[in-house]
A and B are shown apart, each in its own frame.
Chain A
Amino acid sequence: MLAIDGASLTYPNGTEALRPVHLQVAQGEFVSLLGPSGCGKSTLLKLMAGLLRPTQGQLQRPGLSADTTGELAFVFQEPTLMPWADVQTNVRLPLDLAGMARHEALPRVHDALARVGLADFAAHRPAELSGGMQMRVSIARALVTRPKLLLMDEPFGALDDITRHRLDEELLTLARAQGLSVVFVTHSISEAVYLSDRVVVMAARPGRVTHVQTLAQQWPRDADVRTSAEFNAQVRALQAHLQRAFDDTHA
């Protein structure tokens, strides 16, 4: 789905934002990027989205067509909804921008809203919804183009723990059901372990990948997984790697 072959990014002033990264994301795989601030997680995600171009190296998206609009969706840390428009119009936006006819777009919108459990809220404005519901609308807007690759930049970072756990579960179910490839940026170790097939640990200054951990937990995962011994062992292992990444940063 995504093949990064030594892609790096150096700013014109010589600052190394990201050292060469080698990473492959398979179809249906869930990969988390974990690391301290300034480690290049978001930069890597933007490279994947095509918002930035690598200074060196290659980045290919063999699973996607040349015009990635629609096949690749991005979810930001904030819901970034249009406050003046109702939920349905917000979710329809990427289809509208692509010039899809309304009668074609509406069934997709209803489908996406149903998937995130907001079928009854199509006529509400964002201000009438909770933070978690707004994030769900944002995810529905990403799903409505039926993407193959979903890039998420700390999407649940601003939410409370309970809402965050619930959305983690929902996201996992959705990604599994549709065979979505997901790259997910997060600060939270336990969130990364809960969601991912693989976790990429990164360090800062310069931004680089220090460790890639493949997780052995079985599917389906449910809330009980979070309290299992295996889960905690994975969290501890990642914590050690992350600590090393932190130490490297401050050395």
Chain B
Amino acid sequence: MPEQTPSPIAARAVQALRASTWPLLVACALLALWQGWTQWAEVPSYLVPSPLEVGRTLVADWPLLAPALMVTLKITVLSLACATALGVLVAIAFVQSRWIEAAFFPYAVLLQVTPIVSIAPLIIIWVKDPTASLVVCATLVALFPIISNTTLGLRAVHPGLAAYFQLQGASRWQTLWRLRVPSALPYFMAGLRISGGLSLIGAVVAEFVAGTGGTGAGLAYQILQSGYQLNIPRLFAALALISVTGIAIFLSLAAVSRALLGGWHESEAAPRC
């Protein structure tokens, strides 16, 4: 009897399941060890709460944590979007002339190496709107990988193709749009994956510095408050939400990368089975 070939979507689902089996097993084992250790050693929950207790707190405090998660998520997504738009524009400006790049690249580096906690207070004073000030901080954290990777990618054009475009009398704009931008896509995606994580870190750090409370309170504020109140299970619950958010950002950017580069770039070539 002939074997039925599974549909591509089913095949991909099976593959994803297979790929995530081991990490999930490790997670289960670690959680079990953690649970066992806290029970066996009778660790007080104000030091290290058990995973079950963290889970219970997550459910119980959900009305408090969910809005905080939405705030942090909003700042992360907005800052990643700003960093992407700004980073790509700066990179395009850089490749227009070596002169522009030489003049301005050091300032991009300066922004990257200046710790955000040291300039966040200034930004918070200058930018009145609390959300906007946090977005500015997180954008600054996430910006550099996009600038540097995209610039590199826009320059990393196949010399033969560049010669072909020249021979065909392609305009600067045509060369940018039809040759440089697609060539830069793999580099840009690599930068975006780094910046995805950085924008979350930037958002959390900025919240810490700003200490915004009330309706604009994000997960970082919940962590600070929980720390002051020694509500360690809630602190862990907020921490878990931040981690899950980070993983979700990583996975969704990986999916975007696969969708954009899947058919042609080596980095997303189909894995051999």
Where the two chains meet, the residues of A that have a C-beta atom closer than 8 Å to any C-beta of B are 49, 51, 69, 74, 76, 78, 80-85, 93-94, 96-98, 125-127
User: B8 CB to closest chain A CB, in angstroms?
Assistant: 15
Q: Which residues of chain A are within 8 angstroms of B265 by Cβ–Cβ distance?
A: 83-84
Q: Which residues of chain B are within 8 angstroms of A127 by Cβ–Cβ distance?
A: 263-264
Q: Which residue of A lies closest to B171 (CB)?
A: A97
Q: Which residue of A lies closest to B160 (CB)?
A: A80
Please tell me if the beta carbons of A80 and B164 are within 8 angstroms of each other in the complex.
Answer: yes
Please tell me if the beta carbons of B174 and A78 are within 8 angstroms of each other in the complex.
Answer: no
Q: Which residues of chain A are within 8 angstroms of B178 by Cβ–Cβ distance?
A: 82, 93, 96-97
Please tell me if the beta carbons of B182 and A69 are within 8 angstroms of each other in the complex.
Answer: no
Which of B154-171 touch A at CB < 8 Å? Answer: 158, 160-161, 163-170
Q: How far is the CA of A104 from the CA of B77 in the complex (A)?
A: 43
For this complex, 23 residue pairs linking A to B, each with C-beta atoms less than 8 Å apart, are A51-B166, A51-B167, A69-B169, A74-B164, A76-B164, A78-B160, A80-B161, A81-B161, A82-B178, A83-B264, A84-B182, A84-B263, A84-B265, A93-B168, A93-B178, A94-B168, A96-B178, A97-B168, A97-B170, A97-B174, A125-B264, A126-B264, A127-B263
Q: How far is the CA of A78 from the CA of B160 in the complex (A)?
A: 8
Q: Which residues of chain A are within 8 angstroms of B169 by Cβ–Cβ distance?
A: 69, 97
Q: How far is the CA of A84 from the CA of B183 in the complex (A)?
A: 8
User: A159 CB to closest chain B CB, in angstroms?
Assistant: 16
- Which of B160, B165, B264 makes the CB contact (< 8 A) with A84? B264
Please tell me if the beta carbons of A125 and B263 are within 8 angstroms of each other in the complex.
Answer: yes
Q: Which residues of chain A are within 8 angstroms of B86 by Cβ–Cβ distance?
A: none
Shortest beta-carbon contacts, A-B, top 10: A80-B160, A83-B264, A84-B182, A84-B264, A97-B168, A97-B170, A125-B264, A80-B161, A69-B169, A125-B263
Q: Which residues of chain B are within 8 angstroms of A83 by Cβ–Cβ distance?
A: 264-265
Q: Which residues of chain A are within 8 angstroms of B161 by Cβ–Cβ distance?
A: 80-82
Q: Which residue of B lies closest to A72 (CB)?
A: B167
Given A80-B163, A82-B178, A83-B264, 5 more contacts at CB 8 Å? A51-B166, A74-B164, A84-B264, A84-B265, A98-B168
Q: Interface size of B by Cβ–Cβ distance < 8 Å?
A: 19
Q: Which residues of chain B are within 8 angstroms of A85 by Cβ–Cβ distance?
A: 182
Interface flags for B173-192 (1: CB within 8 Å of A; 0: not) read: 01000110010010000000
User: A129 CB to closest chain B CB, in angstroms?
Assistant: 12
User: B252 CB to closest chain A CB, in angstroms?
Assistant: 22
Please tell me if the beta carbons of B165 and A97 are within 8 angstroms of each other in the complex.
Answer: yes
Given A84-B182, A96-B178, A127-B264, the answer on whether A76 and B165 have CB atoms closer than 8 Å is no
User: A127 CB to closest chain B CB, in angstroms?
Assistant: 6
Q: Which residue of A lies closest to B181 (CB)?
A: A84
Q: Which residue of B lies closest to A75 (CB)?
A: B164
Count of A-B residue pairs with CB < 8 Å: 45
Please tell me if the beta carbons of B179 and A82 are within 8 angstroms of each other in the complex.
Answer: yes
Q: How far is the CA of A82 from the CA of B158 in the complex (A)?
A: 9
Q: How far is the CA of A127 from the CA of B263 in the complex (A)?
A: 8
- Which of B158, B167, B179, B182 makes the CB contact (< 8 A) with A74? B167
User: A158 CB to closest chain B CB, in angstroms?
Assistant: 12
Q: Which residues of chain A are within 8 angstroms of B163 by Cβ–Cβ distance?
A: 76, 80
Q: Which residues of chain A are within 8 angstroms of B167 by Cβ–Cβ distance?
A: 49, 51, 74
User: B185 CB to closest chain A CB, in angstroms?
Assistant: 7
Q: Which residues of chain A are within 8 angstroms of B174 by Cβ–Cβ distance?
A: 97
Q: Which residues of chain A are within 8 angstroms of B185 by Cβ–Cβ distance?
A: 84
Q: Which residues of chain A are within 8 angstroms of B160 by Cβ–Cβ distance?
A: 76, 78, 80
Q: How far is the CA of A49 from the CA of B185 in the complex (A)?
A: 32
Q: How far is the CA of A82 from the CA of B174 in the complex (A)?
A: 14
Which of B229-266 touch A at CB < 8 Å? Answer: 263-265
Q: Residue among A49, A96, A97 with the most chain B CB within 10 A?
A: A97
Q: Which residues of chain B are within 8 angstroms of A81 by Cβ–Cβ distance?
A: 161
Q: How far is the CA of A94 from the CA of B167 in the complex (A)?
A: 10
Q: Which residues of chain B are within 8 angstroms of A125 by Cβ–Cβ distance?
A: 263-264
Q: How far is the CA of A85 from the CA of B185 in the complex (A)?
A: 13
Q: Which residue of B lies closest to A85 (CB)?
A: B182
Q: Which residues of chain B are within 8 angstroms of A93 by Cβ–Cβ distance?
A: 168, 178
User: B152 CB to closest chain A CB, in angstroms?
Assistant: 17
User: A131 CB to closest chain B CB, in angstroms?
Assistant: 14
Q: Which residue of A lies closest to B167 (CB)?
A: A74
Q: Which residues of chain A are within 8 angstroms of B263 by Cβ–Cβ distance?
A: 84, 125, 127
User: A78 CB to closest chain B CB, in angstroms?
Assistant: 5
User: B65 CB to closest chain A CB, in angstroms?
Assistant: 42
User: A202 CB to closest chain B CB, in angstroms?
Assistant: 22
Q: Which residue of B lies closest to A83 (CB)?
A: B264
User: A56 CB to closest chain B CB, in angstroms?
Assistant: 24
Q: Which residues of chain B are within 8 angstroms of A97 by Cβ–Cβ distance?
A: 165, 168-170, 174, 178
- Which of B168, B170, B182 makes the CB contact (< 8 A) with A82? B182
